[in-house]
């Protein structure tokens, strides 16, 4: 049984698993790219509007993940004060 004092802190867990966590957060972008390819093949008459909407969603999501990454970096880095 693990005691409370022996458990790792959130900072330690993020330091060890930062890149896998961010990679998991970016999986929806891969799904959106696949959706764009499928829409291109299956419904080319809706292509313009749908591609623009998906690109806007991808941009919003990537910016959100970038902000999360910056906060992780700030949390994980040692204090300089």
In degrees, rounded to 5, the angle at the alpha carbon of residue 71 between the alpha carbons of residues 5 and 27 is 100
Phi, psi of 78 (to 5 degrees): -70, 150
Handedness of CA 61, 64, 70, 73 (dihedral sign): negative
Span 27-38, average pLDDT: 89
- Residue 23 is predicted with a pLDDT of 87
Here the tokens at position 3 are: 């005691």
pTM listed for this prediction: 0.66
Burial of 57: CB neighbours in 10 Å, binned 0-12, 13-18, 19+ = middle
Q: How many residues does the chain have?
A: 81
Query: Over the stretch 38-71, which tens digit does the pLDDT of each residue have?
Result: 888 887 887 888 888 888 999 999 999 999 888 8
pLDDT at residue 36 greater than cutoff 70: yes
- Give the lowest-confidence range in 4-8, 14-18, 57-61, 76-80: 4-8
Higher pLDDT, 70 or 7: 70
């Amino acid at each position: 049984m693990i005691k409370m004092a022996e458990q790792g802190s959130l900072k330690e867990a993020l330091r060890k698993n930062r890149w896998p966590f961010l990679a998991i957060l970016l999986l929806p972008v891969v799904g959106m790219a696949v959706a764009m390819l499928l829409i291109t093949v299956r419904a080319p008459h809706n292509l313009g509007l749908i591609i623009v909407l998906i690109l806007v969603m991808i941009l919003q999501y990537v910016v959100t993940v970038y902000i999360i990454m910056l906060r992780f970096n700030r949390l994980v880095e040692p204090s300089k004060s």
